[in-house]
A = this chain, B = another copy of it.
Amino acid sequence: MTNRQITIAELPKDALTRNHFEMGETDMPVPGDGEVLLRVILMSIDAANRSWMKGATYRAAVQQGDAMPTYAICEVTESNSPKLQKGDIVAAEATWSDYITAPAHKVQKLPKVPQLSNLMSVYGIAGKTAFHGLVSVGRPIAGETVLVSAAAGSVGGYVGQIARNLGCRVVGIAGGSEKCDWVQKEFGFDACVDYRDPGFAKALRKACPDGVDVYFDNVGGSVLELALANMNERGRVVCCGAISQYDTEAPTGPRNLPGVVVVKRLRMEGFIVMDFAQDDDKALRALRHWVEAGQIKVTEDIVEGLENAPQALIGLLAGENKGKRMVRVSADPA
Protein backbone atom coordinates (compact mmCIF):
# COMPACT_ATOMS: atom_id res chain seq x y z
CA MET A 1 0.00 0.00 0.00
CA THR A 2 1.30 3.42 -0.90
CA ASN A 3 0.25 6.87 0.12
CA ARG A 4 -0.40 9.76 -2.26
CA GLN A 5 0.82 13.20 -1.23
CA ILE A 6 0.78 16.62 -2.91
CA THR A 7 3.87 18.78 -2.41
CA ILE A 8 4.95 22.27 -3.48
CA ALA A 9 6.96 21.90 -6.69
CA GLU A 10 7.75 25.60 -6.76
CA LEU A 11 6.63 28.56 -4.68
CA PRO A 12 4.41 30.92 -6.70
CA LYS A 13 5.63 34.46 -7.40
CA ASP A 14 2.20 35.68 -8.45
CA ALA A 15 -0.91 33.77 -9.52
CA LEU A 16 -1.03 30.16 -8.34
CA THR A 17 -1.19 27.44 -11.03
CA ARG A 18 -1.25 23.64 -11.08
CA ASN A 19 2.44 23.68 -11.98
CA HIS A 20 3.24 24.85 -8.47
CA PHE A 21 2.13 21.44 -7.20
CA GLU A 22 3.31 17.91 -7.65
CA MET A 23 1.59 14.64 -6.78
CA GLY A 24 3.93 11.99 -5.43
CA GLU A 25 3.75 8.65 -3.68
CA THR A 26 5.39 7.74 -0.40
CA ASP A 27 5.45 4.56 1.58
CA MET A 28 2.57 4.17 3.94
CA PRO A 29 3.58 6.16 7.05
CA VAL A 30 4.10 4.18 10.23
CA PRO A 31 2.90 5.66 13.53
CA GLY A 32 5.53 5.81 16.29
CA ASP A 33 5.06 5.56 20.02
CA GLY A 34 2.10 7.66 21.16
CA GLU A 35 1.13 8.32 17.56
CA VAL A 36 -1.84 7.41 15.41
CA LEU A 37 -2.23 6.59 11.72
CA LEU A 38 -5.00 8.68 10.19
CA ARG A 39 -7.01 8.21 7.02
CA VAL A 40 -7.79 11.65 5.64
CA ILE A 41 -11.50 12.03 4.89
CA LEU A 42 -12.07 15.76 4.26
CA MET A 43 -9.54 18.59 3.83
CA SER A 44 -10.39 22.25 4.35
CA ILE A 45 -9.48 24.45 1.37
CA ASP A 46 -8.81 28.01 2.48
CA ALA A 47 -7.39 31.24 1.13
CA ALA A 48 -4.96 30.91 4.01
CA ASN A 49 -3.28 28.00 2.15
CA ARG A 50 -2.15 30.56 -0.40
CA SER A 51 -0.98 33.07 2.20
CA TRP A 52 1.20 30.44 3.90
CA MET A 53 3.11 30.23 0.61
CA LYS A 54 3.96 33.93 0.89
CA GLY A 55 5.95 33.80 4.10
CA ALA A 56 5.61 33.32 7.83
CA THR A 57 2.23 34.34 9.22
CA TYR A 58 0.75 32.99 12.44
CA ARG A 59 2.50 29.81 11.33
CA ALA A 60 5.81 29.09 9.61
CA ALA A 61 5.93 29.58 5.85
CA VAL A 62 5.37 26.65 3.53
CA GLN A 63 8.54 25.88 1.58
CA GLN A 64 9.30 24.24 -1.74
CA GLY A 65 9.19 20.46 -1.32
CA ASP A 66 6.78 20.61 1.65
CA ALA A 67 3.50 18.76 1.56
CA MET A 68 0.73 21.39 1.67
CA PRO A 69 -0.56 21.66 5.25
CA THR A 70 -4.27 21.49 5.82
CA TYR A 71 -6.86 21.21 8.52
CA ALA A 72 -8.50 17.82 8.00
CA ILE A 73 -11.11 15.44 9.37
CA CYS A 74 -9.68 11.94 9.61
CA GLU A 75 -10.41 8.45 10.87
CA VAL A 76 -7.98 6.68 13.19
CA THR A 77 -6.91 3.46 11.46
CA GLU A 78 -4.11 2.47 13.84
CA SER A 79 -3.37 3.74 17.33
CA ASN A 80 -0.25 3.52 19.48
CA SER A 81 -1.83 5.65 22.16
CA PRO A 82 -4.36 4.80 24.88
CA LYS A 83 -6.03 8.16 24.14
CA LEU A 84 -7.49 7.11 20.79
CA GLN A 85 -8.97 3.97 19.28
CA LYS A 86 -9.25 2.64 15.80
CA GLY A 87 -12.41 4.12 14.27
CA ASP A 88 -12.30 7.40 16.19
CA ILE A 89 -13.00 10.51 14.13
CA VAL A 90 -10.55 13.35 14.76
CA ALA A 91 -9.56 16.82 13.54
CA ALA A 92 -5.86 17.16 12.76
CA GLU A 93 -3.23 19.41 11.27
CA ALA A 94 -2.64 17.18 8.26
CA THR A 95 -1.18 17.54 4.80
CA TRP A 96 -2.63 16.97 1.35
CA SER A 97 -2.27 13.17 1.60
CA ASP A 98 -4.26 9.96 1.78
CA TYR A 99 -2.76 9.05 5.14
CA ILE A 100 -0.73 10.84 7.80
CA THR A 101 0.63 10.07 11.23
CA ALA A 102 0.29 12.45 14.18
CA PRO A 103 0.98 12.43 17.92
CA ALA A 104 -2.27 11.47 19.61
CA HIS A 105 -2.16 14.50 21.93
CA LYS A 106 -2.10 16.83 18.94
CA VAL A 107 -5.36 15.69 17.39
CA GLN A 108 -8.82 16.48 18.63
CA LYS A 109 -11.51 13.82 18.93
CA LEU A 110 -14.74 14.81 17.20
CA PRO A 111 -18.29 13.74 17.95
CA LYS A 112 -19.87 11.28 15.53
CA VAL A 113 -22.44 13.25 13.57
CA PRO A 114 -24.64 12.24 10.63
CA GLN A 115 -22.61 14.36 8.21
CA LEU A 116 -18.90 14.85 8.89
CA SER A 117 -18.65 17.75 6.42
CA ASN A 118 -20.75 19.86 8.80
CA LEU A 119 -17.84 19.73 11.23
CA MET A 120 -15.86 21.67 8.66
CA SER A 121 -18.55 24.09 7.55
CA VAL A 122 -21.13 25.41 9.98
CA TYR A 123 -19.80 23.53 13.04
CA GLY A 124 -16.18 23.89 11.96
CA ILE A 125 -13.70 26.62 11.10
CA ALA A 126 -16.08 28.47 8.80
CA GLY A 127 -18.98 28.74 11.23
CA LYS A 128 -16.77 29.40 14.23
CA THR A 129 -14.76 32.05 12.37
CA ALA A 130 -17.98 33.79 11.38
CA PHE A 131 -19.41 33.60 14.89
CA HIS A 132 -16.34 34.67 16.85
CA GLY A 133 -15.36 37.41 14.41
CA LEU A 134 -18.82 38.88 14.18
CA VAL A 135 -19.94 38.47 17.78
CA SER A 136 -16.70 38.98 19.74
CA VAL A 137 -14.82 41.38 17.46
CA GLY A 138 -17.58 43.17 15.52
CA ARG A 139 -20.13 43.24 18.36
CA PRO A 140 -23.16 44.19 16.27
CA ILE A 141 -26.36 45.42 17.85
CA ALA A 142 -29.85 44.85 16.43
CA GLY A 143 -30.72 47.62 14.03
CA GLU A 144 -27.16 48.17 12.88
CA THR A 145 -25.97 47.54 9.33
CA VAL A 146 -23.47 44.72 8.86
CA LEU A 147 -21.52 44.56 5.60
CA VAL A 148 -19.57 41.45 4.64
CA SER A 149 -17.28 40.82 1.67
CA ALA A 150 -16.77 37.43 0.01
CA ALA A 151 -20.41 36.93 0.98
CA ALA A 152 -20.69 33.76 -1.09
CA GLY A 153 -17.53 32.35 0.45
CA SER A 154 -17.12 29.87 3.25
CA VAL A 155 -17.36 32.39 6.08
CA GLY A 156 -19.34 35.27 4.57
CA GLY A 157 -22.64 33.44 4.28
CA TYR A 158 -22.59 32.51 7.96
CA VAL A 159 -21.59 36.04 8.98
CA GLY A 160 -24.59 37.42 7.15
CA GLN A 161 -27.03 34.85 8.48
CA ILE A 162 -25.83 35.29 12.08
CA ALA A 163 -26.07 39.07 11.76
CA ARG A 164 -29.58 38.78 10.36
CA ASN A 165 -30.55 36.48 13.23
CA LEU A 166 -29.23 39.13 15.63
CA GLY A 167 -31.55 41.74 14.10
CA CYS A 168 -29.15 43.58 11.80
CA ARG A 169 -29.56 44.81 8.26
CA VAL A 170 -27.19 42.62 6.23
CA VAL A 171 -25.45 43.64 3.02
CA GLY A 172 -23.05 41.38 1.12
CA ILE A 173 -20.35 42.00 -1.44
CA ALA A 174 -19.62 39.29 -4.02
CA GLY A 175 -18.26 38.93 -7.55
CA GLY A 176 -20.81 38.83 -10.35
CA SER A 177 -24.54 39.42 -10.43
CA GLU A 178 -25.38 35.71 -10.46
CA LYS A 179 -23.51 35.19 -7.20
CA CYS A 180 -25.10 38.29 -5.67
CA ASP A 181 -28.58 37.02 -6.51
CA TRP A 182 -27.68 33.65 -5.05
CA VAL A 183 -26.44 35.23 -1.78
CA GLN A 184 -29.72 37.08 -1.36
CA LYS A 185 -31.89 34.07 -2.13
CA GLU A 186 -29.82 31.39 -0.40
CA PHE A 187 -28.92 33.29 2.77
CA GLY A 188 -31.59 36.00 2.97
CA PHE A 189 -29.26 39.00 2.84
CA ASP A 190 -31.10 42.32 2.53
CA ALA A 191 -28.85 43.24 -0.39
CA CYS A 192 -25.71 42.03 -2.14
CA VAL A 193 -23.54 44.24 -4.33
CA ASP A 194 -21.28 43.14 -7.20
CA TYR A 195 -17.74 44.47 -6.76
CA ARG A 196 -16.96 43.83 -10.41
CA ASP A 197 -19.70 46.19 -11.58
CA PRO A 198 -18.49 49.65 -12.68
CA GLY A 199 -21.25 51.19 -10.57
CA PHE A 200 -20.10 49.34 -7.43
CA ALA A 201 -19.35 52.40 -5.30
CA LYS A 202 -22.75 53.94 -5.94
CA ALA A 203 -24.60 50.64 -5.51
CA LEU A 204 -22.87 50.02 -2.18
CA ARG A 205 -23.87 53.44 -0.89
CA LYS A 206 -27.44 52.80 -1.98
CA ALA A 207 -27.50 49.37 -0.32
CA CYS A 208 -26.40 50.94 2.99
CA PRO A 209 -28.64 54.00 3.33
CA ASP A 210 -27.79 54.32 7.04
CA GLY A 211 -24.06 53.68 6.56
CA VAL A 212 -22.13 50.67 7.82
CA ASP A 213 -21.66 49.86 11.51
CA VAL A 214 -19.75 46.60 11.20
CA TYR A 215 -17.70 45.62 8.17
CA PHE A 216 -16.51 42.01 8.15
CA ASP A 217 -13.53 42.12 5.80
CA ASN A 218 -12.43 38.98 4.01
CA VAL A 219 -10.74 40.70 1.08
CA GLY A 220 -8.72 43.86 1.90
CA GLY A 221 -7.58 46.12 -0.94
CA SER A 222 -9.83 48.53 -2.78
CA VAL A 223 -13.02 46.94 -1.44
CA LEU A 224 -11.82 47.65 2.09
CA GLU A 225 -11.01 51.22 1.07
CA LEU A 226 -14.54 51.73 -0.19
CA ALA A 227 -16.13 50.04 2.82
CA LEU A 228 -14.12 52.34 5.11
CA ALA A 229 -15.51 55.33 3.25
CA ASN A 230 -19.03 54.12 4.10
CA MET A 231 -18.44 53.41 7.79
CA ASN A 232 -20.40 55.21 10.45
CA GLU A 233 -18.73 56.85 13.44
CA ARG A 234 -17.61 54.25 15.96
CA GLY A 235 -17.85 51.55 13.32
CA ARG A 236 -15.95 48.31 13.64
CA VAL A 237 -13.92 46.59 10.94
CA VAL A 238 -13.42 42.89 11.57
CA CYS A 239 -10.19 41.96 9.77
CA CYS A 240 -10.57 38.30 8.91
CA GLY A 241 -8.64 37.99 5.67
CA ALA A 242 -7.24 39.74 2.63
CA ILE A 243 -7.98 37.33 -0.18
CA SER A 244 -7.58 40.05 -2.80
CA GLN A 245 -3.92 40.27 -1.85
CA TYR A 246 -2.80 36.68 -1.50
CA ASP A 247 -2.28 36.07 -5.18
CA THR A 248 -0.79 39.48 -6.11
CA GLU A 249 1.32 42.17 -4.49
CA ALA A 250 -0.82 45.04 -3.26
CA PRO A 251 0.12 48.16 -5.25
CA THR A 252 -1.16 50.34 -2.42
CA GLY A 253 -2.86 50.02 0.93
CA PRO A 254 -6.25 51.62 1.45
CA ARG A 255 -5.44 55.29 0.84
CA ASN A 256 -7.90 56.50 3.47
CA LEU A 257 -5.96 54.81 6.28
CA PRO A 258 -5.35 55.86 8.95
CA GLY A 259 -7.22 59.17 8.38
CA VAL A 260 -10.70 57.67 8.35
CA VAL A 261 -9.97 55.62 11.48
CA VAL A 262 -9.17 58.80 13.40
CA VAL A 263 -11.95 60.96 12.03
CA LYS A 264 -14.69 58.35 12.46
CA ARG A 265 -13.14 56.74 15.53
CA LEU A 266 -13.21 53.32 13.94
CA ARG A 267 -11.86 50.15 15.43
CA MET A 268 -10.10 47.74 13.03
CA GLU A 269 -9.24 44.47 14.64
CA GLY A 270 -7.71 41.27 13.36
CA PHE A 271 -8.36 37.81 14.76
CA ILE A 272 -7.98 34.18 13.93
CA VAL A 273 -10.45 31.55 14.96
CA MET A 274 -8.14 29.84 17.48
CA ASP A 275 -7.97 33.06 19.53
CA PHE A 276 -11.50 32.38 20.72
CA ALA A 277 -11.24 28.63 21.34
CA GLN A 278 -12.41 29.17 24.92
CA ASP A 279 -15.78 30.30 23.50
CA ASP A 280 -16.18 27.47 20.99
CA ASP A 281 -18.88 25.74 23.05
CA LYS A 282 -20.97 28.89 23.11
CA ALA A 283 -20.51 29.34 19.37
CA LEU A 284 -21.49 25.75 18.58
CA ARG A 285 -24.57 25.92 20.80
CA ALA A 286 -25.74 29.08 19.05
CA LEU A 287 -25.01 27.73 15.58
CA ARG A 288 -26.82 24.47 16.31
CA HIS A 289 -29.81 26.42 17.60
CA TRP A 290 -30.04 28.46 14.41
CA VAL A 291 -29.47 25.50 12.08
CA GLU A 292 -32.16 23.45 13.83
CA ALA A 293 -34.56 26.38 13.76
CA GLY A 294 -33.98 26.77 10.02
CA GLN A 295 -32.41 30.18 10.55
CA ILE A 296 -29.01 29.21 9.17
CA LYS A 297 -28.75 27.44 5.86
CA VAL A 298 -25.67 25.24 5.48
CA THR A 299 -24.04 25.39 2.07
CA GLU A 300 -21.04 23.23 1.28
CA ASP A 301 -18.86 23.06 -1.80
CA ILE A 302 -17.20 19.65 -1.86
CA VAL A 303 -14.62 18.82 -4.53
CA GLU A 304 -14.07 15.07 -4.97
CA GLY A 305 -10.58 13.57 -4.95
CA LEU A 306 -7.20 14.40 -3.44
CA GLU A 307 -5.80 14.91 -6.94
CA ASN A 308 -8.17 17.86 -7.42
CA ALA A 309 -6.95 19.79 -4.37
CA PRO A 310 -4.66 22.17 -6.33
CA GLN A 311 -7.47 23.13 -8.70
CA ALA A 312 -9.86 23.49 -5.75
CA LEU A 313 -7.50 26.06 -4.17
CA ILE A 314 -6.84 27.89 -7.45
CA GLY A 315 -10.58 28.11 -8.06
CA LEU A 316 -11.20 29.34 -4.52
CA LEU A 317 -8.74 32.19 -5.05
CA ALA A 318 -10.60 33.07 -8.25
CA GLY A 319 -13.82 33.17 -6.24
CA GLU A 320 -15.56 30.22 -7.87
CA ASN A 321 -16.77 28.52 -4.70
CA LYS A 322 -20.17 28.93 -3.12
CA GLY A 323 -20.05 28.15 0.56
CA LYS A 324 -17.33 26.31 2.44
CA ARG A 325 -14.99 24.54 0.04
CA MET A 326 -13.40 21.24 1.01
CA VAL A 327 -11.86 18.24 -0.73
CA ARG A 328 -13.13 14.76 -0.11
CA VAL A 329 -10.16 12.38 0.00
CA SER A 330 -12.06 9.30 1.18
CA ALA A 331 -15.55 8.30 2.23
CA ASP A 332 -17.19 8.93 5.60
CA PRO A 333 -17.08 5.76 7.74
CA ALA A 334 -20.16 3.61 7.25
Contact = CB atoms under 8 A, between A and B. Distances in A.
A242 B258 contact: yes
A30 B88 CA distance: 86
A256 to B, nearest CB: 7
A253 B257 contact: yes
Interface string A253-293: 11111111111111111111001000000000000000000
A261 B265 contact: no
A220 interface: yes
Nearest to A272: B265
A245 B255 CA distance: 10
Given A267-B267, A268-B269, A255 B250 contact: yes
A69 to B, nearest CB: 16
A239 interface: yes
Contacts of A258: 217, 220, 224, 237, 239, 242, 254, 268, 270
A115 interface: no
Contacts of A272: 262, 265
Residue of A252, A257, A264, A266 most packed against chain B (CB within 10 A): A257
Contacts of A239: 258, 261-262
Total identical chains: 2
B220 A259 contact: yes
Contact of A262 (B242, B255, B260, B265): B242
Contacts of A217: 258
A: interface residue count bin: 35 or more
A2 interface: no
Contact of A261 (B260, B269, B275): B269
Contacts of A240: 262
A264 B270 contact: yes
A225 interface: yes
A261 B242 CA distance: 10
A252 B257 CA distance: 9
A259 B242 contact: yes
A269 B267 contact: yes
A252 B217 CA distance: 20
Nearest to A265: B270
Contacts of A57: 263
A241 interface: yes
Interface in A292-315: none
A161 to B, nearest CB: 22
Given A58-B264, A217-B258, 4 more contacts: A58-B233, A239-B258, A251-B252, A254-B258
23 contacts: A57-B263, A58-B264, A58-B265, A239-B258, A239-B261, A241-B262, A250-B259, A251-B252, A253-B257, A254-B257, A260-B270, A261-B270, A262-B271, A262-B272, A265-B271, A265-B272, A265-B275, A266-B268, A267-B267, A267-B268, A267-B269, A267-B270, A268-B269
